[in-house]
Amino acid sequence: MKGDYIMLRSLYSGIGGMNNFQNKLDVIGNNISNVNTSGFKKGRTTFNDLVSQQMQGAGAAANGRGGTNPQQIGLGGGMSTIDTINTQGSLQSTGRNLDMAISGDGFFIIQDGDERFFTRAGNFYLDSEGTLVNGDGKNILGIDEQNITILAGSDGPNGSTLESFNIAPSGEINGVYSDGTTAVIGQLALANFANPGGLNKAGNNTYTVSANSGDAQIGTAGTGGRGNLVGSTLEMSNVDLSAEFAEMIVAQRGFQANTRMITTSDEILQELVNLKR
């Protein structure tokens, strides 16, 4: 009976290990599929051992005899965390004045009705009304938590019209007018969090606040721990393909080893059943 329990322990440990490595492969697959996604932050899985079954407790030294260590058999491993790794992605120059990257910490702020999202992807656009939006048409907020409007040909100082604009590292959008003067049109806002790893991934390169991320601390670029903006540039994914392929091999072999454990345990159980013949 004791041997049968041992086989069952190894069977369940193998099943748990297979599930863990399947989850690891799922995370790796998502990383690789987003290797060219602007502003994407890769995921990482970590594991922990489960409770161990106590076969014999530890014994203290007494009566001239030394102590003994506990005898414990582990019951497998489990998923500990799936982390978002918020390291800086490489910056790629695009030459497009509506592309922006954050060098350092922080997120752009997106408003969609009553919902607020956060993103590292800075590929922005202007809609038909000159409002700054992301690729899904959602508004990008300025420092006053209002929409930003950049409308070519709009009225400026002394009856001049807006001809072009540029974005400073602080997020200020400086308009250049037909009479050669410049004026600040608006300023992009950035948000940072006490725990950015606690944000929920909401799809479409966006995040939402969670119970463990802390509230958004909104301010200007280059202040309060927020990074600077780099114009005409996009932040690339921080996925390292060579590292992901190495982790894929580890996960594949780990999965294979756990299936072998299940097969071996099954063969030994079969031998026990055959003892009755």
* Residues facing 119 on adjacent strands: 108, 206
Higher pLDDT, 157 or 126: 126
Task: Tell me the chain's radius of gyration from C-alpha atoms.
Answer: 28
pLDDT above 90 covers what percent of the chain? 61
pLDDT for the residue numbered 2: 47
How does pLDDT run across 26-56, given as a tens digit for each residue? 999 999 999 999 999 999 999 998 887 888 8
How does pLDDT run across 86-118, given as a tens digit for each residue? 999 999 999 998 999 999 999 999 999 999 999
- Where do runs of H (alpha helix) occur along the chain? 2-33, 241-274
Average pLDDT, the chain: 90
Q: Where are the domains of the chain?
A: 2-60+67-86+240-274, 91-235
Q: Tokens 């582990």 identify what position?
A: 74
Distance CA 124, CA 126 (A): 7
Q: Tokens 């530890």 identify what position?
A: 58
pLDDT for the residue numbered 153: 66
Q: Count of CB atoms within 10 A of residue 174's CB?
A: 15
Rounded average pLDDT over 215-222? 95
Is the pLDDT confidence value at 81 over 70? yes
Rounded average pLDDT over 226-240? 95
Is the pLDDT confidence value at 158 over 80? no
Of the candidates 124, 65, 120, 68, the residue with the CA atom closest to the CA atom of residue 99: 124
Task: Pull the structure tokens for residue 86.
Answer: 């918020």
Residues 6+ apart with CB under 8 A from 159: none
- Confidence at 154, pLDDT banded by 50, 70, 90: low
Is the pLDDT confidence value at 239 over 50? yes
- Confidence at 7, pLDDT banded by 50, 70, 90: low
The beta-carbon contacts of 179-187 under 8 Å, at least 24 apart in sequence, are 181/156, 181/157, 183/156, 183/157, 185/148, 185/149, 185/150, 186/142, 186/143, 186/148, 186/149, 186/150, 187/142, 187/143, 187/220
